[in-house]
Amino acid sequence: MKVTEALIVEHRIFLTVFDQIERVLADAKTLTEVLILASLVKSMLEAHDSTETNLAYLACDHALQDKGQIDRMDQEHQKIDVCLRKVRSARTGKQAQRMLAAVIDFSRKHMQFEERSVFPSLESVLQPETLEGFGSNWQILREAAAASG
């Protein structure tokens, strides 16, 4: 499986989890409940971000840089991180709910950008064998993470 295909599959899983988190988030009564959900989102996105950076984008920074895609992607990843930190510093459950909902919404849009712009660029720049090699590495990293966690 090509790494771009693996990342799209991961996006689909995240979107499903986001839907479930939003359902629970709507009924969250305390700040602690929201912070637990935020922690789940944070851990999912950190592992995903690391995969994207290490397996796909380092291989073709030069090609995507011309289109500004790497800069935008990095800025969006940083924005998500900053917003997640703000959730953790919220003073009320309602404030944290609004912030986490915004993180989830922005993350959805970010994934759409990657699938619409970044992944097709990767597919056009890298050989299928390279993408499949990165996909194999992605699988090894996922299996190692599952075994250690």
The per-residue pLDDT for 49 is 82
The yes-or-no verdict on residue 95 having pLDDT over 90 is yes
The confidence band for 118, taking pLDDT boundaries of 50, 70 and 90, is confident
Q: Cβ distance 13 to 21 under 8 Å? A: no
Q: Give me the sign of the Cα torsion angle 21, 15, 52, 82.
A: negative
**Per-residue DSSP letter, 29:** -
Cα–Cα nearest to 63, from 128, 122, 137: 122
The residue with greater pLDDT, 7 or 71, is 7
Residue scoring higher pLDDT (122 or 104):
104
Mean pLDDT (the chain) is: 87
Residues contacting residue 51 through CB under 8 Å, at least 6 positions apart: 7, 10, 138, 141
Q: What is the pLDDT of residue 46?
A: 85
Mean pLDDT lowest among 59-63, 89-93, 117-121, 140-144? 59-63
- Output the pLDDT for position 70: 74
Q: pLDDT digit string (tens) for 19-66?
A: 999 999 999 989 999 999 999 999 889 878 877 776 656 666 656 665
Radius of gyration of the chain (CA): 16
How far apart are the C-alpha atoms of 54 and 60, rounded to whole Å?
Answer: 11
All domains in the chain, ordered by first residue: 3-142 (1.20.120.520)
Specify the pLDDT at position 60: 62
Q: How confident is the model at residue 71 (pLDDT cuts 50, 70, 90)?
A: confident
Considering the entire predicted model, what is its pTM? 0.85
